[in-house]
Amino acid sequence: MSKKKIEEVVDETPKGESPVPTATKSKSVEIIEINKAEWDKTQEMLKMLYATADKGRIFNYESGKAQKKPLRIKLSEYNGGIIVGWRTVKDELIPHPTTGKLMGEVQQYEILLDKGDEGIEKILINGYPNFSEARYGKRFEAEVKSRSEDFEGNIKFDIELDNGRIITLDSRFVN
């Protein structure tokens, strides 16, 4: 096994300026050379150790080293705004006048839309199919920046939208 040092030239000149020969630095990179037999032996040893190791400990080690992925959630877009809340205004069953069997339902929902600079707008939607289309029709992902919990246990997310604007949304109205 032998070691070599290789000098790597790093140009630290800011963009748009002409490089000056004295403005470069060199950092040394250490390279180790081993023969193929030693390399294969080392690889076999790693495979054996990994195969016989405790899987739980490997998982804990790898998850501790891994960077956490940001939480991404899905939001619904409707009528030029982002749905930030809804509630059922009316949900009545319609029975048949003579048999009493269920003939249908009358449903009405109130949706809160965040229209950005225009503020929050309330819209009434009649029927569950229309409400479902509003909630699941056009969706997009956004990144959660922070999570908080109030004294009643309700979880709220601070969500960063694609345009950089941050909105606070109750977890019940996510996904």
What confidence tens digit (pLDDT) does each residue in 154-163 have? 888 888 888 8
Two tokens, residue 34: 């081993």
pLDDT tens string 6-43: 555 555 555 555 555 444 555 678 888 889 999 999 99
Q: Does the pLDDT value for residue 150 go beyond 90?
A: no
pTM for this one?
Answer: 0.55
Distance CA 148, CA 70 (A): 15
What are the structural domain ranges in the chain? 2-65, 72-173
The most confident of the ranges 2-16, 22-36, 57-71, 120-134 is 120-134
Total number of residues shown for the chain:
175
